[in-house]
Amino acid sequence: MKLRKGSDGAAGFKFRIVVATFNRGVTRQLLAACLKEFTRQGVGAGDIEVVQVPGAFELPLVASTLAQSGGVDAVICLGAVIRGDTPHFEYISTEASRGIGQAAMETGVPIIFGVLTTDTVAQARERADPGKFNRGGAAAQSAIEMARVMRRIRGKADKLTSDRLAGARKIRRKG
């Protein structure tokens, strides 16, 4: 069995973060933890771009656009959808998660789901608390690991393709 893991450190990787401004008190803490984790892992400030959007519903479109722009190893979507008295929560959380997953599949770039979906504001604050397990930092860790895995997989695929092309050239020269 082969286990494909990335190497240590994240220097040289390029990341984009899309953060919703709705529920700003929570999303600001998610973003801060995300940036802190990138710094801890050696990602340079010039290798990170942050784009703000109004809410979680807008995350997938911007994430997809950033992923398609090239030169990015992973995109992180940060947001907070908190249940209220209407079905709005279900619509937004469902479409945000579906759209983020679809964007990743269509672009081939890891797009990390860092959107809190909680029943209460207190739950959201707890998951964004810098003194606890902040989900923004966890999203950065996921993005780094996925960037490593995809680079290794793509590197092996590129090597196989170039080896096959070299082999085909040798056959043509002989024939």
Q: Do 126 and 17 touch, CB atoms closer than 8 A? A: no
Q: Is 88 a catalytic residue?
A: yes
Cite the DSSP H helix spans in 54-134.
59-68, 88-107, 121-127
* Counts for the chain of helices (H) and strands (E), in that order: 5, 4
Alpha-carbon distance of 82 to 75, in angstroms, equals 23
CA separation for the pair 72, 63 (Å, rounded) = 11
Do residues 150 and 73 lie in contact, with contact meaning Cβ atoms separated by under 8 Å? Answer: yes
Asked whether 60 and 97 are in contact (CB, 8 A), the reply is no
Query: Which one of 88, 132, 156, 164 is the catalytic residue?
Result: 88
Q: Can you tell me the distance from the alpha carbon of 88 to that of 41, in angstroms, rounded to the nearest whole number?
A: 37
Name the residues annotated as catalytic: 88
